[in-house]
Amino acid sequence: MQNIDDEFYERADQHIQLSNQQITEAIGRGKVSASMLYATSRFNAWVSATGWNTGEELGNAKEETIEYFLTEYRKMLEENLDDYIENFEEYMFIPPESEIINE
């Protein structure tokens, strides 16, 4: 991944906030997630295309480009899953066992 600038996480949080706002009973998390994933791939295809002068050049770089984005996505997903595993109760608002009242 490129160097992370000061606004990196703020921009990411803005995208997450938009996705959270789109979640309704009719449009669940899965549909919103699929839309966000599609938008990310579409945007990254455009960003990649801006680096070339012809479609042929872009085509020649296709596999390398795909590999780059897959590698970066995997690293980010692993990092975020590890974070959720470590902080599951806090992030998912589950009280510690010591606070659960057994009836």
Which residue from 42, 46, 74, 48 is spatially nearest to 61, judged by alpha carbons?
Answer: 48
Asked if residue 83 has pLDDT above 80, the reply is yes
pLDDT band at 44; cut points 50, 70, 90: very high
Asked if residue 102 has pLDDT above 90, the reply is no
In the three-class reduction of DSSP (H, G, I as helix; E, B as strand; rest coil), residue 46 is classed as: helix
Asked if residue 69 has pLDDT above 70, the reply is yes
The span from the CA of 13 to the CA of 66, in Å, is 24
Tokens 């009719």 sit on residue: 26
Torsion angle in degrees (nearest 10) through CA of 83, 23, 29, 27: 180
pLDDT band at 103; cut points 50, 70, 90: low
Question: Would you state the pLDDT for residue 95?
Answer: 76
The span from the CA of 95 to the CA of 103, in Å, is 16
Q: With beta carbons less than 8 A apart as the criterion, state whether 88 and 94 touch.
A: yes
